C-alpha cells in the first residue's frame, strides 16, 4: 500500500463534493494531514486558526495542546520522534459546513522500547507495526481554517506484527529509513 492510499476516501470525497464550502473543508483537512505526515510544520500550522484547541480523548480523559505555541511544540515533538510518519487508513469521512469527521485505523512503526512494557515477548530493539482505531472531529472556523482537533482513541496502540529489516520504511523516524539504506536493505 502506498503512503497516501489510506487517505483515498478523503481524496475521493473531495473530488465528488459539489458544495464549495464542504469541498474547501475537506481540502484543508487533506492539506493538514499530508503536511503532518511530511513533517512540514509551517504548512500544517497555516491550516490552523491562530489559537487552535486540541482534545485527545481516551481512557484517561481529555488532554491536548491549546494555543499556537503548544500546538507547534506538539507537532515538533511528533516529528522529532517520527510518530508523524504514519498511515491513516480511513473508513469513513463525514463533512458539513462546520466540521469534517474522519474515522479509521492509524498505523505507526514503533521500536520495542516504545511499546507498552506489559507486552510479553517484545524485543526492545526490534521494530513493530502498531495500530489503533481513531476518530477525529476537525472543527472548521468561518475563515476556512481548522480550529483544532478532537481526537477519540478507543484503544492504546496494539502490536499488529513485527517488521522485517527495511519493511515499511515510510513509517517511524527518518533515521529508521536511513539505517535500512545503510545496511543495503530495501527502502
Report residue 154's pLDDT band, with 50, 70 and 90 as the boundaries: confident
CATH code, domain carrying 58: 3.10.450.50
The answer to the question of residue 29 being in a domain is yes
Domains in the chain: how many in total?
1
Dump pLDDT digits (tens) for 83-127. 999 999 999 999 999 999 999 999 999 998 888 755 678 898 899
The answer to the question of residue 11 being in a domain is yes
Q: Report the residue count for the chain.
A: 187
Long-range Cβ contact pairs of 26-34 (< 8 A, separation 24 or more): 26/93, 26/95, 26/100, 28/140, 28/144, 28/145, 28/146, 29/100, 29/102, 29/138, 29/146, 32/138, 32/146, 33/7, 33/88, 34/4, 34/7
CA-to-CA distance for 97 and 106, rounded, in angstroms? 25
The answer to the question of residue 179 being in a domain is no
The answer to the question of residue 45 being in a domain is yes
Cell numbers at residue 148, please?
Answer: 483544532
Q: What is the mean pLDDT of residues 169-179?
A: 80
Q: What is the mean pLDDT of residues 120-138?
A: 91
Look up the pTM and report it.
0.88
Dump pLDDT digits (tens) for 31-64. 999 999 999 999 999 999 999 999 988 856 668 9
For residue 30, give its domain range. 5-106+132-160
Percent share of the chain, pLDDT over 70 = 87
Mean predicted lDDT score pLDDT of the chain? 89
Q: What's the confidence (pLDDT) of residue 185?
A: 43
Q: What is the mean pLDDT of residues 69-96?
A: 95
The answer to the question of residue 74 being in a domain is yes
The answer to the question of residue 172 being in a domain is no
pLDDT at 181 over 50: no
For residues 16 and 3, which has the higher predicted lDDT (pLDDT)? 16
Amino acid at each position: 500500500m502506498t503512503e497516501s492510499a489510506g487517505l483515498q476516501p478523503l481524496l475521493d470525497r473531495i473530488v465528488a463534493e459539489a458544495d464549495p464550502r464542504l469541498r474547501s473543508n475537506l481540502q484543508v483537512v487533506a492539506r493538514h494531514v499530508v503536511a503532518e505526515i511530511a513533517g512540514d510544520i509551517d504548512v500544517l500550522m497555516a491550516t490552523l486558526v491562530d489559537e487552535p484547541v486540541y482534545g485527545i480523548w481516551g481512557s484517561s480523559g481529555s488532554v491536548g495542546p491549546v494555543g499556537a505555541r503548544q500546538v507547534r511544540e506538539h507537532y515538533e515533538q511528533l516529528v522529532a520522534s517520527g510518530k508523524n510518519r504514519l498511515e491513516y487508513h480511513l473508513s469513513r469521512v463525514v463533512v458539513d459546513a462546520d466540521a469534517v469527521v474522519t474515522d479509521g485505523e492509524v498505523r505507526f512503526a514503533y521500536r520495542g522500547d516504545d511499546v507498552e512494557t506489559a507486552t510479553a515477548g517484545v524485543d526492545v530493539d526490534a521494530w513493530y507495526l502498531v495500530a489503533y482505531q481513531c476518530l477525529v472531529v476537525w472543527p472548521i472556523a468561518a475563515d476556512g481554517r481548522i480550529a483544532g482537533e478532537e481526537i477519540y482513541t478507543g484503544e492504546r496502540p496494539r502490536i499488529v506484527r513485527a517488521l522485517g529489516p527495511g519493511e515499511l520504511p515510510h513509517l517511524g523516524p527518518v533515521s529508521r529509513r536511513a539505517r535500512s539504506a545503510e545496511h543495503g536493505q530495501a527502502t
